[in-house]
Amino acid sequence: METKIIDGKEISLMVKNEVRDKTAAFKEKTGKEVCLAVILVGEDPASQVYVRNKKKACDYVGFKSLSYELPESTTQEELLELIEKLNNDDSVHGILVQMPLPKQIDEKTVIDTISPLKDVDGFHPMNVGALCIGEKGFVSCTPAGVIQLLKRSGVEIAGKECVIIGRSNIVGKPMALLMLRENATVTVAHSKTKDLAEVVRRADIVIAAIGKAKAITADYIKEGAVVIDVGINRNAETGKLCGDVDYENVAPKCSAITPVPGGVGPMTIAMLMNNCLESALRFSGENI
C-alpha cells in the first residue's frame, strides 16, 4: 500500500500564512496590532528554544510579541502580579507562561490566574470545560494541530474508530474531546490499559501521545490505519529526535503517517498563532 507522509511543516506553513493574511487585514481595518505576551521563568534550555520559536512565529505572522524573561528565583507572587497586569492591558490579546515552572511556583495557580479570554494555550479550566460541552473557547494547541493535519490531509474522521494512547491534560484528554466533536468513536488508552496492542489494532486512526520512544510497533497497527505521532523523544545515544511510533516498521502498514520531526511538532506553534489572532478578533468584535 502506498503510504502518505503527512507533512506538518507544509501544513503549519499554510496555517501561518492564513494567520499572516488575516493579521494584515485586521491591522488595516482597526489600526491595531495583534499582541502575544510570552513569559519564561528560569533557564531551562528546552523552554528557551520553545520561547524563541514562538517569538519567531510572531514575527512571521506580523504579531507584536512582548517578552518577559524572569530569573529562576522569581516568586509566585511576582509572577501572578505580572499576569494580572497583562490581564488588564487591553493591548495584549494572548498570555503564554512557558511550562515547566520552578518548584516554588504552583502551575495550577498560574493557569487559573490567566484570564480565560487571553489563555491562548487553552489550559484554563474554563476553556477545558467549554471544549467538553461544545462551547466556544481556546483549544490546547497540539490537539488542535492534529485535527488540522487530519482535515487538511483529507482524512475522514466521522464514524471512524479512533484510539488515543495517553490521557494528559494537554494532549490526550482534549484530543479525545476534539475527535468526539468530529464524530469519531473514541477510545482513550493509557498505561493501565489491558492488552494495549489489541485495543490499538481496532483503530482506523491511532494518536500516540505516550512519551516513550518507539513504543508503538507494527503489530499494534491495523493494515491501512492512519497514525499520528505526538511523541518527541530524544535518543540518548544518537541525540536524534524520535516519536512514540516505530516509524520504519509501522509506516509500510499505514495509509498515512506523521514523521518525527516534521509532523505534529510544527503545528503546535501554528495553532498558537491562530488562537492569538482569534483572541484579537474576539476582543475587537471584528470578523475577518
User: Catalytic site residue 59?
Assistant: no
* Residue 58, burial from CB neighbour count under 10 angstroms (0-12, 13-18, 19+): buried
Site for ligand GUN in 255-284 (CB under 6 A): 268
Select 70 or 99, whichever has its Cβ closest to ligand GUN.
Answer: 99
3-state secondary structure of 166: coil
Q: Alpha-carbon distance 41 to 56, whole Å? A: 19
User: Catalytic site residue 76?
Assistant: no
Among 12, 23, 98, 148, binds ligand GUN (CB under 6 A): 98
Catalytic site residue from 7, 16, 22, 98: 98
Select 95 or 221, whichever has its Cβ closest to ligand GUN.
Answer: 95
* DSSP structure class, residue 233: E
Q: Alpha-carbon distance 135 to 129, whole Å? A: 8
Catalytic site residue from 7, 16, 22, 121: 121
Write down the least CB distance from residue 224 to ligand GUN, Å: 31
The x, y and z cell numbers of residue 267, run together, are 503545528
In this structure, are residues 189 and 196 in contact, taking their beta carbons and an 8 Å threshold? yes
Residues touching ligand GUN: how many (CB under 6 A)? Answer: 7
Write down the least CB distance from residue 100 to ligand GUN, Å: 7
Selection from 252, 243, 182 nearest residue 5 by Cα: 252
User: Catalytic site residue 121?
Assistant: yes
Q: What is the sign, positive or negative, of the torsion defined by CA atoms of 61, 62, 66, 68?
A: positive
**105 forms part of the interface with ligand GUN (CB under 6 A):** no
Q: Alpha-carbon distance 223 to 98, whole Å? A: 39
Beta bridge partners of 64: 35
Residue 26 belongs to what H/E stretch?
A: helix 8-30
**218 forms part of the interface with ligand GUN (CB under 6 A):** no
Angle among Cα 145, 204, 10 to the nearest 5 degrees reads 30
**121 forms part of the interface with ligand GUN (CB under 6 A):** yes
Write down the least CB distance from residue 284 to ligand GUN, Å: 24
Q: What x-and-dash track marks residues 140-169 binding ligand GUN by CB under 6 A?
A: -x----------------------------
Catalytic site residue from 16, 22, 54, 253: 54
Q: Alpha-carbon distance 44 to 24, whole Å? A: 34
Taking each helix axis as running N to C, give the angle between helix 45-61 and helix 8-30, from 0 to 180 degrees, rounded to the nearest 10.
50
Among 97, 188, 245, 277, binds ligand GUN (CB under 6 A): 97
Stretch that binds ligand GUN, among 8-16, 18-26, 93-101, 250-258 (CB under 6 A): 93-101
Select 12 or 268, whichever has its Cβ closest to ligand GUN.
Answer: 268
Select 121 or 182, whichever has its Cβ closest to ligand GUN.
Answer: 121
Stretch that binds ligand GUN, among 56-64, 95-103, 241-249, 274-282 (CB under 6 A): 95-103
Residue type (1 letter), 99: M
Q: What x-and-dash track marks residues 47-86 binding ligand GUN by CB under 6 A?
A: ----------------------------------------
Taking each helix axis as running N to C, give the angle between helix 8-30 and helix 141-152, from 0 to 180 degrees, rounded to the nearest 10.
110
In this structure, are residues 163 and 25 in contact, taking their beta carbons and an 8 Å threshold? no
Tell me which residues touch ligand GUN (CB under 6 A): 96-99, 121, 141, 268
- Catalytic residue positions, numbered: 54, 98, 121
